[in-house]
Amino acid sequence: TYYTKAKFLTSAPDIRHLKMDEGIEVAFAGRSNAGKSSALNTLTRQKNLARTSKTPGRTQLINIFELDEQRRLVDLPGYGYAQVPVAMKQKWQRSLGEYLQKRKSLKGLVVLMDIRHPFKDLDQDLVHWAVDAGLPVLALLTKSDKLKSGKRKEQLMMVEEAALAFCGDVTVKTFSSLSRQGLGDLESVLNQWFKL
């Protein structure tokens, strides 16, 4: 598949700086520490494709990874740092909303959430914006290895129930970068979005 072929293409300081609104793009978003970098590395079978910023609150870049000429993964900056100034949060929200609304090549949004702490404030906002923009969403419950299978299923059902309230195309799956649980599910959702 094309995931293992992922190559770093470019970084952008802001969604407005993204060029080439052609082909198919799938974006990954989540609170910082949700496991987004690990998930991107697991998906692409690369150890260091995506890296976390070790400095909370620092301006982070959007990283674009090219899978092939027509397909890209977009790694959006992690959110939810308490220390980030309000003005910066508002700027992030505006530009993200605009990206979800206007980006023609964007075919789906993966929202990564720690399975133990799903749907915090900004996660919900993000899903709402995506649904408003008519975009399908995959709510990926990360670090599933942290829960025993009974509790994991319970949490999945709870989030699936909560997802119905968004009245959009919201799929929920569990995932672990550690055990690779859910990797096949993640790939099959992405495969649908990446269909030419």
Which residues form the interface with ligand GDP (CB under 6 A)? 30, 32-38, 52, 78, 142-143, 145-146, 176-178
Extended strands (E) in 76-196: 106-114, 137-142, 170-174
Distance CA 129, CA 101 (A): 8
Orientation angle between helical segments 183-193 and 36-44, nearest 10 degrees: 80
CB-nearer residue toward ligand GDP: 119 or 169: 119
CB-nearer residue toward ligand GDP: 8 or 105: 8
Rg (CA), the chain: 16
Q: What's the min distance (Å) between Cβ of 189 and ligand GDP?
A: 17
CB-nearer residue toward ligand GDP: 102 or 151: 151
Three-class DSSP category at 7: strand
Distance CA 96, CA 44 (A): 24
Q: What's the min distance (Å) between Cβ of 176 and ligand GDP?
A: 4
Q: What's the min distance (Å) between Cβ of 195 and ligand GDP?
A: 27
Q: What's the min distance (Å) between Cβ of 179 and ligand GDP?
A: 7
CB-nearer residue toward ligand GDP: 41 or 101: 41
User: Which residue, 190, 18, 7, 180, is CA-closest to 99?
Assistant: 18
CB-nearer residue toward ligand GDP: 134 or 184: 184
Asked if 81 contacts 92 with a C-beta cutoff of 8 angstroms, the reply is: no
Q: What's the min distance (Å) between Cβ of 41 and ligand GDP?
A: 8
